[in-house]
């Protein structure tokens, strides 16, 4: 059944000069039909570089919005417009404006997991793959990082700059405790522990690597170890196992399950392509300043 729908999706993608981008947390059948799977940074770069007329984005709203910011002349479709990110909703433009007034002259480093309107108020964006490089690229001695306090604290541990926090977090990464990791380590001695930088700093301190989702795939591929404990959203099991079929991946907590990342089905993708529905647009007065912040980030990564 999946094969049949996947075939129809591939045919429609060709017919409409479209490409399908999927985040590493997406369901397996979506990853299998995608042209490209990756972390937030890789997906932004792909969205900026592609010649395709249409981008079908399988992820959550802020990811499709970032693609629309980068490619205003392309049609960006999100098969389920209600797929959001609870962390992105933890900072509003109004609240950020107030904080900026309290910290005059302090650059704002905004995680891509944020709305376009929040990006528009920011100096530069970052992802989990480049947060330290982005903060270090700035001349200022102090920065404000929004909205993820865990990413901010984990970044602060790797830079000399003073980092002001915002009280947001990913509700799924935040539930992983050092006790849960210690238990998993005791049950699987010899396994390396991979954590996502959205985890608590106490958890990241226990990790052999704290990297983005694609960073985890690269780390596992290049490692001589065969067994890994994984501290991130449960969808990561599939791309890790696909990349390293002879290695073992144990999710530390099955409760790290992001419902929004699992909303899109193959049927949604098919319908969205057939009817060209679910378009994500960003008004120009927000897109132009947001683009500056995203482009600055990409320049740091490219440089």
Judged by beta carbon, residue 123 or residue 128, the one nearer ligand 13P is 128
Which residues contact residue 45 at a Cβ distance below 8 angstroms, ignoring those fewer than 6 apart?
298, 301
| Site of interaction with ligand SF4 (CB under 6 A) | 60, 85-87, 113, 170, 172, 233, 258, 260-261
Residues numbered 213 to 272 that lie near ligand 13P (CB under 6 A) are 213
> CA angle 251-254-258, nearest 5°?
110
Short-list 206, 211, 216, CA closest to 239:
216
Cβ-in-10-Å burial (0-12, 13-18, 19+) of 101 comes to exposed
Interaction of residue 148 with ligand 13P, rule CB under 6 A: no
Which of ligand SF4, ligand 13P, none sits in contact with 26, Cβ below 5 to 8 A by type? Answer: none
Judged by beta carbon, residue 5 or residue 28, the one nearer ligand 13P is 28
CA max distance for the chain:
57
Q: Six-digit token pair at 146? A: 């929004």
Candidate list 44, 110, 212, 301; residue touching ligand 13P; CB under 6 A: 212
> CA angle 21-27-33, nearest 5°?
45
Judged by beta carbon, residue 113 or residue 114, the one nearer ligand 13P is 113
- We find the least distance from the C-beta atom of residue 82 to ligand SF4, in angstroms, to be 13
Candidate list 39, 65, 174, 268; residue touching ligand 13P; CB under 6 A: 39
CA distances (Å), origin 215, targets 23, 37, 223, 239: 13, 13, 12, 12
- We find the least distance from the C-beta atom of residue 278 to ligand 13P, in angstroms, to be 18
Which of ligand 13P, ligand SF4, none sits in contact with 206, Cβ below 5 to 8 A by type? Answer: none
For 190-220, b/e burial (b = at least 16 CB within 10 A) is ebbbbbbbbbbbebbebbebbbbbbbbbebb
Interaction of residue 44 with ligand 13P, rule CB under 6 A: no
Interaction of residue 115 with ligand 13P, rule CB under 6 A: no
Residues numbered 274 to 293 that lie near ligand 13P (CB under 6 A) are none
8-state DSSP, 173: G
Judged by beta carbon, residue 17 or residue 167, the one nearer ligand 13P is 167
């Amino acid at each position: 059944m999946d094969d049949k729908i996947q075939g129809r999706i591939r045919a429609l993608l060709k017919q409409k000069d479209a490409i399908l981008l999927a985040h590493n947390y997406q369901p397996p059948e979506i990853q299998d039909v995608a042209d490209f799977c990756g972390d937030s940074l890789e997906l932004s770069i792909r969205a900026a570089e592609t010649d395709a007329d249409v981008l079908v984005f399988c992820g959550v709203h802020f990811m499709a919005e970032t693609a629309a910011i980068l490619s205003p002349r392309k049609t960006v479709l999100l098969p389920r417009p209600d797929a959001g990110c609870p962390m992105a909703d933890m900072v509003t433009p109004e609240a950020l404006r107030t904080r900026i007034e309290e910290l005059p002259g302090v650059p704002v480093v905004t995680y891509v997991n944020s709305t376009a309107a929040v990006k528009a108020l920011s100096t530069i964006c970052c992802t989990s793959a480049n947060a330290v490089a982005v903060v270090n690229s700035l001349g200022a001695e102090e920065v404000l990082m929004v909205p993820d306090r865990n990413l901010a604290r984990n970044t602060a541990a790797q830079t000399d700059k003073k980092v002001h926090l915002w009280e947001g977090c990913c509700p799924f990464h935040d539930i992983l405790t050092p006790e849960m990791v210690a238990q998993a380590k005791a049950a699987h001695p010899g396994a390396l522990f991979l954590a996502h930088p959205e985890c608590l700093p106490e958890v990241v301190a226990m990790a052999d690597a704290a990297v983005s989702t694609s960073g985890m795939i690269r780390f596992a591929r290049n490692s001589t170890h065969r067994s890994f404990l994984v501290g991130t959203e449960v969808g990561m099991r599939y791309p890790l196992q696909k990349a390293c079929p002879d290695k073992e991946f144990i999710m530390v907590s099955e409760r790290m399950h992001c419902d929004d990342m699992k909303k899109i089905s193959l049927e949604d993708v098919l319908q969205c392509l057939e009817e060209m529905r679910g378009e994500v647009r960003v008004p120009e007065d927000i897109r132009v300043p947001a683009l500056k912040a995203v482009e600055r980030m990409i320049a740091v990564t490219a440089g």
